[in-house]
Amino acid sequence: MKLLVFAHTPPPHHGQSYMVQLMLDGFGGDCRDPAVRRRRTAQCGAEARSQIECYHVNVRLSKQLEEIGDIRVWKMLLLVWYCLEAIWCRFRYGVTNMYYVPAPGKKSALFRDWLVMALCRPFFKRVVLHWHASGLAKWLETAVQIRSRAITYRYLKQVDLSIVLSAYGRADALKLLPRRTVIVGNGIPDPCPNFRTEILPLRKSRAEARRMILAWQPMPAKLEQAAGADPHVLRVLFLGHCTRDKGLFDALQGVLLAESRLRDSGSPMRLSCTVAGQFIHAAEEQEFQKILAGEGRGLIDYAGFVTGQKKWDLLKHADLFCFPSHLESFGLVLVEAMAAGLPCIAARAGAMPEVMLPKSPGLVDVRSPDQIAEVIINMMTDTSFEQLRARFEDNYSVDRYVENVARALISMEEAEHHQSSPERGVVGPVAAG
């Protein structure tokens, strides 16, 4: 099966571009490169992924996160060029299937979708939409004119396959009447292969140390050594884009409230909070700096944008992950935290309740710093490290993600071969988180 992947890969780095990169790598790379085609031929296996040949058009319209969503004339011209490149690949390599990531509920992104579908869709036999963002269905009904809805239906309705990340995300796909819809949860490479030998013993030691500190019990020297530095300090981590919508300021207020309650109650425990990520809006960065210099002094630390080993070091040495985002189509950072066996606090928003452990004690309401403070205090001795790690291994590994996307793509062709008129709107989960 030949697949035209019309999507961008990092940079800029965010969940959608990262998952596209993982999918391309999992399918063997861009077959426009002759070396990739030769390697795939030599390594052909029995997995579904080995049946997918990708031809990638890297639709990079922004160099930085701040530029994403801007309407610029040069971006539209560049997009037309990418569309022509896709059409050229269609005839040069005989690619009949097009993979595309549709927009969230934003006008500029919707214009992009209209242009791409108007230019490219007539040339491809099948179209696949992979819904990494959410909110389009509600936005179309409440925030745009009927003409915009009509144009959207004209160009994006009744695609051959819609892939969604969760049950929550099905509404956006089903709004446009796809012929087939499947659920495929995201996955990542294992960031902590040494979890059981290195990270789990540290987590257990620190949890036991906190339990003894809260009970005012003397701590054995061996446990004190195993727990590392400052076992009386609960290390809270926020990791993600540093915006209000991602819950940054809810998390900060929750930490400040929890610290105040600990001091007022005479608790021997204290908090520290590390914020890691990139600011997108200057006003929010200024607001954060005021908190940092004021009531957050000595309590809150900013690590900047982190990747690679530095990122995993933060996850390893944290005691609690706090990401109360207001709306997430999936919440990939939660998966990263669970891979490190790190207890999580998240808002009951979007797909995050699906991604986390069932009946997780870390779920809070949206925009609820008071609940966050309460949960931080209640989860000081949480020991769900192994359950969190098991959930990652069972549901969110990169191999499972790539193979399930491949199976969804293969099922699209098989359904066409076996049914002359496929039932529309059928939801067939491939892998739900």
**377, pLDDT greater than 80:** yes
Between 39 and 229, residue with greater pLDDT: 229
pLDDT for 82: 97
Please, which contacts does 21-24 make with residues 24 or more away whose CB atoms are closer than 8 Å?
Answer: 22/187, 22/188, 22/189, 22/398, 22/401, 22/402, 23/401, 23/402, 23/405, 24/54, 24/56
Residue 370 CA: distances (Å) to CA of 373, 374, 396? 5, 6, 31
Count of C-beta atoms within a 10 Å radius of residue 427: 15
**432, pLDDT greater than 50:** no
**67, pLDDT greater than 60:** no
Cα–Cα distance, 27 to 6 (Å, whole number): 15
At residue 65 the predicted structure's pLDDT band, cuts being 50, 70 and 90, is: low
pLDDT for 291: 97
Report phi then psi at 369, rounded to 5: -55, -35
Mean local confidence (pLDDT), 246-261: 98
**191, pLDDT greater than 50:** yes
Mean local confidence (pLDDT), 305-319: 94
Q: Do 187 and 402 form a contact (C-beta atoms < 8 A)?
A: yes
For residue 179, give the 3-state DSSP assignment. Answer: coil
**281, pLDDT greater than 50:** yes
Cα–Cα distance, 28 to 302 (Å, whole number): 37
Between 384 and 109, residue with greater pLDDT: 384
At residue 124 the predicted structure's pLDDT band, cuts being 50, 70 and 90, is: very high
DSSP state of 101: -
pLDDT for 430: 40
Indicate the pTM of the whole model: 0.87
Q: Percentage of the chain with pLDDT > 90?
A: 76
Q: Percentage of the chain with pLDDT > 70?
A: 93
**105, pLDDT greater than 80:** no
Residues across the chain: 433
Cα–Cα distance, 31 to 50 (Å, whole number): 12
Q: Do 323 and 245 form a contact (C-beta atoms < 8 A)?
A: no
The tokens 């940092």 sit on which residue? 292
For residue 239, give the 3-state DSSP assignment. Answer: strand
**66, pLDDT greater than 90:** no
At residue 417 the predicted structure's pLDDT band, cuts being 50, 70 and 90, is: low
Between 136 and 325, residue with greater pLDDT: 325
Domains of the chain, first to last: 2-188+397-418 (3.40.50.2000), 195-395 (3.40.50.2000)
Q: What is the mean pLDDT of the chain?
A: 91
Between 47 and 284, residue with greater pLDDT: 284
Report phi then psi at 194, rounded to 5: -95, 25
3-state secondary structure the chain: CEEEEECCCCCCCCHHHHHHHHHHHHCCCECCCHHHHHHHHHCCCCCHHHHCEEEEECCCCCCCHHHCCCCCHHHHHHHHHHHHHHHHHHHHHCCCEEEECCCCCCHHHHHHHHHHHHHHHHHCCEEEEEECCCCHHHHHHHCCCHHHHHHHHHHHCCCCEEEECCCCCHHHHHHCCCCCEEEECCCECCCCCCHHHHHHHHHHHHHHHHHHHHCCCCCCHHHHHHCCCCCCEEEEEEECCECCCCCHHHHHHHHHHHHHHHHHCCCCCEEEEEEECCECCHHHHHHHHHHHHCCCCCCEEEEECCCHHHHHHHHHHCCEEEECCCCCCCCHHHHHHHHCCCCEEEECCCCHHHHCCCCCCCEECCCCHHHHHHHHHHCCCCCCHHHHHHHHHHHCEHHHHHHHHHHHHHHHHHHHHHCCCCCCCCECCCECC
At residue 144 the predicted structure's pLDDT band, cuts being 50, 70 and 90, is: confident
Tell me whether strands 2-6 and 161-164 are parallel, antiparallel or unpaired. unpaired
As given in the structure block, the two tokens for residue 362 are 């870390």
As given in the structure block, the two tokens for residue 316 are 């390893």
Cα–Cα distance, 112 to 86 (Å, whole number): 15
pLDDT for 64: 65
